[in-house]
Amino acid sequence: MHKIWLILQREYVSRVKKKSFIITTLLVPIGFLLLFAVQFILIAFNTDTLRIVVKDDSGKFAQRIKDTETLYFKKSDEQLNLLKLNYRQEGFDGVLYIPQLNLDNPNGIVYFSDKLLGLSAKSYIQSEIKDELRKLKLSEMGVDDKVYNQVQKLQVNISEEATGGGSSANTGLATAAGFIMGFLMYMVIFIYGAMVMRGVMEEKTNRIVEVILSSVRPFQLMLGKIVGIGAVGLTQFLIWVVLMTFINLGLGVFAGGYLSKMQGGGMSLGSGGFNAGNEQQMEQALFIAQSMQEQIESLPMATMIFGFLFYFLFGYIMYAALFAAVGSAVNDESETQSLTFPVSLPIIISIFILSAIMEAPNSGLAFWSSLIPLFSPIIMPFRIAFGVSWTQLLVSMTLLVLGALAMVWLAAKIYRTGILMYGKKVTLPEIGRWLFRSAA
Amino acid sequence: MDLLIIEGVTKVFENTKAVDNISLRVPQQSIYGLLGPNGAGKTTLIRMITDILYQDKGSITLNGIPDNSQRSLYIGYMPEERGLYKKMKVGEQLLYLAQLKNLTAKQAKEKLTYWSERLSVTDWWNKQVGELSKGMQQKVQFIATVIHEPKLIILDEPFSGLDPINTNLIKDEIYNLKEMGATILFSTHRMEQVEEICERIALVNKGKLILEGAVGDLKNRFKEHKYQITCAETPDTVLPDAPFEVLNQIGKQLIIRIKEGYHSNHILEYFIGKGVHIHAFHEILPSINEIFINQVHQNSNQIPVV
């Protein structure tokens, strides 16, 4: 035990001290922050107001299109041809022409400019005109404005409740959260598994392994390495979680302050885009943001975090053992290709299964693949987001632990033979024979 | 007393017998040479002694304890292919390797201070191993081998790649360690070093032990009764009734083989009787190299790689 601890320490410390570790650990949250900052700056400091002259032949819309932070509208009664010629001299960016509209077939609205209107401005104007058109059409049919406004505010949400002891959550959100977890797991198993493989190979090609093995058992060396690198992974996660939380909190405070300052300005970071300068839309955006928050809270967060850590730990141990076996059997990087393929295959299959069960998280395929140890580290975290019964979870976790232990045991047999084998290229059948040999 | 006793040890890989029923005894506080051409089974034998591999048959007794699983703690092993973590600092690396041999961090530091001063690597303490010259890396490896004061030190080709100054330095350290009570098992195919350093040798070929004994005894055992004699002037043609035959003559120097039933004094009497002035006279003993090549030849028709 003492020696495994020493090895674990070395593996851990030598990696955590590396510049590359420190840089990636800090860069990921900083990148995250930068992404937010750029988005924020684009929104906040995009003060270029688009000035538009509106020529409204129908006379019903021009006064209805309200100005926003970035859009300024001016009604004009001049001739369209003159406006088209002169708008630039008068300091406008374009001319919006609204003809006499047929309410049943409102065609003929044109924007004249030498610059494109831009997606958000276009959709804003369209929605304003559409809104007004609806009102006109409805009042034509005898519906009052007040009634219309009330109808507009009606909202429907289907909330789901699981009956099998799971928790309730929004399906779309659960799918997204589950997929992100599954995919993240796929990435970390590959990244840290490959790290173990390279570590084993380095020791073998460096020939230090013979010095170390004159002090410790091959199994101790392998296990110390796997657990040490796993601890590096957990450390990185932990730092990310802490940094992200701080960044989130900071952003929240900042954005909150900004929002209150901009009251009525129609800016909402929560939905990440423009919102119109009317209060109704502002309220809507806040409502969406709020219900998002509630829905995220409705996910089984504690189980998800626990599940992710558990499945990471044992899934990683299982695959890292296999990668260690591969690293021990090869002489150089070029030989790893053919041997990593059979090891990566189940991980890749897991991702295929994951996309297949996205639409059906409770199908038979989802159920069985979340029990099989080779697949469960990627499939089960996905299912947890939808709520899984404790019995299923327990069976899957037990099977995974057993699977991981079995894999470590098998890998150790390959490892202790491979690590001292130099020169010739090994084939899969040969590795198979190592498994059935007694002591090395 | 024998520190290391190997009895009937056999190791089979797939279909080849890498080590075939080898028995030998390494006396305490001796320098023992393990010789053999490449692929003779030396490394496999050493790996079994250091407990990296298990023997299929036989037993290995160190310090009176047969097949002790703690054996490796009493052994310091420097493999032929040197290996250190290139990206690790010298000090950290030595500390780590010493702790793997069950030294506490405090003990390890004390020992390391002593050894790094002795071999003048103190200035390199905070350098990465990869930045060091090859000779310097060898010194670091040597310290890693002896840091835990092992009873048995196994050195596989310890001088390969060393310049003459460092070779002498390490050689002196080997003698010094022996004086302090250690036993050294020295694996090599460089015969001139064996003759110079080792007291006893074992000759291994194709997994089998073909010769074992004290260096002086072996030389006597395989001597061919040859002498070299240098005269003041070129002697007359040697008569057929002389107690020896001439194998080679270059001017005043003759190499002769004594005939059955005679001894060296008869040669001198013969020359003195002829009135020849003798400048020098000595027996020619076979070098370990010659014995080695002879023995390997006798045991196989292949020419050994020396």
- Diameter over CA atoms, chain B: 76
Is the pLDDT higher at B287 or at B303? B287
Residue whose entry in the numeric block shows the structure tokens 């929104």: A43
What percent of chain A has a predicted confidence (pLDDT) above 90? 22
Q: Is B301 part of any domain?
A: no
pLDDT, tens digit, 9 for 90 and up, residues B142-153: 999 999 999 999
pLDDT for A438 beyond 60: no
Taking the C-alpha atoms of residue A54 and residue A77, their distance in angstroms, rounded to an integer, is 9
Kindly state whether B75 is in contact with chain A, defined as any CB-CB distance less than 8 angstroms. Answer: yes
Is residue A255 located within the same domain as residue A397?
yes
Of the residues A102, A120, A151, which one is the last residue of a structural domain? A151
Is residue A132 located within the same domain as residue A187?
no
* Closest-approach residue (CA) in chain B for A200: B85
Of the residues B174, B203, B220, which one is the last residue of a structural domain? B220
Domain residues for the domain of B228 are 224-284
Is residue A292 located within the same domain as residue A407?
yes
- Size of chain B in residues: 306
CA of B61, closest CA in chain A: separation in Å?
16
Is residue B53 located within the same domain as residue B121?
yes
Find the mean pLDDT for residues B32-38: 88
Is residue B127 located within the same domain as residue B270?
no
Q: Is A67 part of any domain?
A: yes
What tokens were used for B286? 């076979």
Is residue A259 located within the same domain as residue A349?
yes
Q: Is A331 part of any domain?
A: yes
Q: Which residues of B touch A206 (CB under 8 A)?
A: 83-86
pLDDT, tens digit, 9 for 90 and up, residues A339-394: 888 888 999 999 999 888 887 777 888 899 999 999 999 999 888 887 788 899 99
DSSP state of B190: -
Which of these ranges, A299-308, B208-217, B281-290, has the smallest mean pLDDT? A299-308
Torsion A43-A49-A52-A58 (CA) sign? positive
Q: Which residues of B touch A14 (CB under 8 A)?
A: 85, 87-88
Measuring CA to CA, how many Å separate B25 from each of A32, B34, B58? Answer: 68, 11, 14
Predicted pLDDT at A259: 54
Is residue B182 located within the same domain as residue B126?
yes
Band of the pLDDT at B175, cuts 50, 70, 90?
very high
Q: Which of A5, A203, A215 to mutate: most B Cβ within 10 Å? A: A215
Look at residues A388, A23, A416, A321 and name the one whose alpha carbon lies nearest to residue A169.
A388
User: Which stretches of chain B are assigned E, i.e. beta strand?
Assistant: 2-13, 16-27, 31-35, 57-62, 65-66, 75-78, 152-156, 183-188, 200-205, 208-214, 226-231, 244-250, 253-258, 278-284
Is residue A240 located within the same domain as residue A94?
no
Across the interface, of B73, B99, B144, the residue whose CB is closest to A211 is B144
Is the pLDDT higher at A267 or at B207? B207
**B46: Cα separation from own chain's centroid:** 13
pLDDT for B32 beyond 90: yes
* CATH code for the domain in which residue B266 is found: 3.30.70
Which of these ranges, A289-303, B62-76, B232-246, has the smallest mean pLDDT? A289-303
Domain residues for the domain of A230 are 2-37+168-435
A127-131, A202-206, A403-407: which is most confident: A403-407
Predicted pLDDT at A294: 63
Which of these ranges, A265-269, A358-362, B15-19, B70-74, has the smallest mean pLDDT? A265-269
Is residue B230 located within the same domain as residue B137?
no
Q: Which residues of A touch B53 (CB under 8 A)?
A: 420, 440
pLDDT, tens digit, 9 for 90 and up, residues B178-194: 999 999 999 988 777 78
Of the residues A151, A186, A203, which one is the last residue of a structural domain? A151
Look at residues A194, A175, A198 and name the one whose alpha carbon lies nearest to residue A186.
A194
pLDDT, tens digit, 9 for 90 and up, residues A28-65: 878 877 877 787 677 666 557 788 889 888 888 888 88
pLDDT for A258 beyond 60: no
Is residue B91 located within the same domain as residue B144?
yes
Q: Contact, B126 vs B90, CB < 8 A?
A: yes
Is residue A224 located within the same domain as residue A83?
no
Q: Is B289 part of any domain?
A: no
pLDDT for A272 beyond 70: no
Predicted pLDDT at A268: 42
Q: Which residues of B touch A214 (CB under 8 A)?
A: 50-52, 72, 75, 77
Predicted pLDDT at A407: 93
What tokens were used for B133? 């010259």
Is residue B209 located within the same domain as residue B260?
no
Is residue B130 located within the same domain as residue B242?
no
Mean pLDDT of all residues belonging to chain B = 86
Look at residues B210, B159, B207 and name the one whose alpha carbon lies nearest to residue B45.
B207
Q: Is A45 part of any domain?
A: no
Residue B174's φ and ψ, nearest 5 degrees, are -65, -45
pLDDT for A273 beyond 70: no
Q: Which residues of A touch B102 (CB under 8 A)?
A: 2
pLDDT, tens digit, 9 for 90 and up, residues A226-255: 999 999 988 988 888 888 777 767 766 666
**B112: Cα separation from own chain's centroid:** 27
Cβ contact A214–B96 (<8 Å): no
Is residue B208 located within the same domain as residue B170?
yes
Residue B237's φ and ψ, nearest 5 degrees, are -60, 135
Residue whose entry in the numeric block shows the structure tokens 């949400």: A157
Is residue A137 located within the same domain as residue A24?
no
Is residue A146 located within the same domain as residue A182?
no
Of the residues B220, B244, B265, which one is the last residue of a structural domain? B220
Q: Is A351 part of any domain?
A: yes
What percent of chain B has a predicted confidence (pLDDT) above 90? 31
Cβ contact B84–A209 (<8 Å): no
* CATH code for the domain in which residue A59 is found: 3.40.190.10
Is residue B170 located within the same domain as residue B256?
no
Q: Is A11 part of any domain?
A: yes
Across the interface, of A6, A203, A214, the residue whose CB is closest to B99 is A6
Is residue A185 located within the same domain as residue A137?
no
pLDDT for B285 beyond 70: yes
Instruction: Concatenate the DSSP letters of all residues of A297-327 into one string.
Output: HHS-HHHHHHHHHHHHHHHHHHHHHHHHHHH
Mean pLDDT of all residues belonging to chain A = 81
Kindly state whether B13 is in contact with chain A, defined as any CB-CB distance less than 8 angstroms. Answer: no
How many separate domains does chain A show? 2
Predicted pLDDT at A29: 79
A264 conformational bin, left if phi > 0, alpha if psi -120 to 50, beta if neither: left
Is residue B188 located within the same domain as residue B258?
no
Across the interface, of B54, B88, B100, the residue whose CB is closest to A439 is B54
* Cβ within 8 Å of A, B 203-242: none
Cβ contact B96–A10 (<8 Å): yes
Band of the pLDDT at B244, cuts 50, 70, 90?
confident
Is residue A20 located within the same domain as residue A127?
no
Predicted pLDDT at A286: 59
pLDDT, tens digit, 9 for 90 and up, residues B89-135: 999 999 999 999 989 999 999 999 999 888 888 888 899 988 988 88
Band of the pLDDT at A276, cuts 50, 70, 90?
very low
- Torsion angle in degrees (nearest 10) through CA of A208, A213, A219, A223: -40
Is residue B49 located within the same domain as residue B164?
yes
How many separate domains does chain B show? 2
Is residue A56 located within the same domain as residue A30?
no
Q: Is A158 part of any domain?
A: no
Of the residues B165, B185, B220, which one is the last residue of a structural domain? B220
Which of these ranges, A17-26, A291-300, B262-271, has the smallest mean pLDDT? A291-300
pLDDT for A167 beyond 60: no
Predicted pLDDT at A159: 67
Is residue B98 located within the same domain as residue B242?
no
Is residue A211 located within the same domain as residue A70?
no
Cβ contact B96–A439 (<8 Å): no
Predicted pLDDT at A271: 42
